[in-house]
Amino acid sequence: MIRAVIFCFLVLGFLKVAICLRIVGISVPSLKQRGESATLTCDYSLEGGRLYSVKWYRDNEEFYRYMPRLRPPQHHHTLDGVKVDLEKSSARRVHLRDLTLRSRGVYRCEVSEEAPSFHSAQAEGLMEVYYLPREGPRISGHERRYELGDSLDVNCTSARAFPAPDLQWLIDGQKVTDRSWLIAYGAKPAPQGLLVSTIGLRAPVRQRMKLRCIASTGTHRREKTVVIEANTSCRHKPLNLIIVVILILTSTKYISVKIT
C-alpha cells in the first residue's frame, strides 16, 4: 500500500508538466431560495502554467470572465436572473445577488492557460431556485355544520410557492390514500411566477375527526390541523348533532430546509 502511494507520488512528480491545469473542485449551491445570493467557486490548480482566463456560463451563456492580463480583469454580462456582484467575485469565485426563479440552471466554469500550453478545463453544477411557502396551508369548508353521515367537503390550499407544494391529507394521523376521497385541483398560477396547489377531501363525517393537511416542498414541510367534533350530547333536541369545529392547531410547523 505504502509502496503504491510512493509510486504514485513519483509518477505524479514526473508527469507534472503533462498534468498542468486541472479543476480541483467546483461548488455550485444545489438549492437556493428566491431573493438569496449565491457564491459559486471554481478551484483549479495551474501546476506551473499561467492563467489566461476563467469564464462562467449559465446554460452555455457566458456571464462572467476573469482575465488577469486585462485592466480591469473582470467583465460580466447580465443574464435574466444572473446578477454578478463584481466586488465579491474574483478569479476563483463569482457572487450572484438577488436570485430569482429564472436563476436556475447549469453553471459551468472554464479555466484556460496562456500560451504555449493553452490547456483548458471545465466543471459544472446545477442550481435550483425555490420559493418556499411563507405560510402554512389553509383549510376551508370545515366551518359549516356537518351532520353525522354527511360527506365532509373541505379544501386545503397551499401558500404561494415554487415549485407547487405537494399536498397530503391525514385523518386522525392516517394518510388518506383512497383516491375516491381526494379531489386533485392541481396547481394554479399566482403572481410573480409562483403557484398555489389545492386538494379537496370528501370523506364520511365521523363523530370526531382530526384533519391535517401537509404541504411539502422537498424536505420543507408546513401543516395545518383542524378538529371537527359532532355534538351528540343533546338527544331530545331536533338538532342533536351540532358540529363544533375547533381549531386546535393554527400553528404551522416549520421543519428546516436541508440545503446540502
Ligand X SMILES: *[C@@H]1O[C@H](CO)[C@@H](O)[C@H](O)[C@H]1NC(C)=O
Name the site residues for ligand X (rule: CB under 6 A). Answer: 140-141, 153-155, 185, 198, 200, 231, 233-234, 237, 242, 244
What angle is formed at CA 151 by the lines to CA 159 and CA 252, rounded to 5 degrees? 25
Please name the residues in contact with 255: beta carbons below 8 A apart, sequence gap of 6 or more. Answer: 219, 220, 221
Of 81 and 165, CB closest to ligand X: 165
Of 48 and 141, CB closest to ligand X: 141
The x, y and z cell numbers of residue 43, run together, are 478551484
Of 35 and 141, CB closest to ligand X: 141
The x, y and z cell numbers of residue 88, run together, are 465579491
Q: Give min distance, CB of 243 to ligand X, in A.
A: 9
Residue 65 identity: R
Q: What is the Cα Rg of the chain in Å?
A: 28
Q: Give min distance, CB of 172 to ligand X, in A.
A: 20
Of 141 and 204, CB closest to ligand X: 141
Q: Give min distance, CB of 175 to ligand X, in A.
A: 20
Q: Could you give the CA distance from residue 167 to residue 197 in angstroms, rounded to a whole number? A: 7
The residue with its CB nearest to ligand X is 141
Q: Could you give the CA distance from residue 243 to residue 145 in angstroms, rounded to a whole number? A: 5
Q: Give min distance, CB of 240 to ligand X, in A.
A: 7
Ramachandran category for residue 144: left, alpha or beta (phi over 0 → left; psi -120 to 50 → alpha): beta
Q: Give min distance, CB of 221 to ligand X, in A.
A: 22
Of 106 and 234, CB closest to ligand X: 234
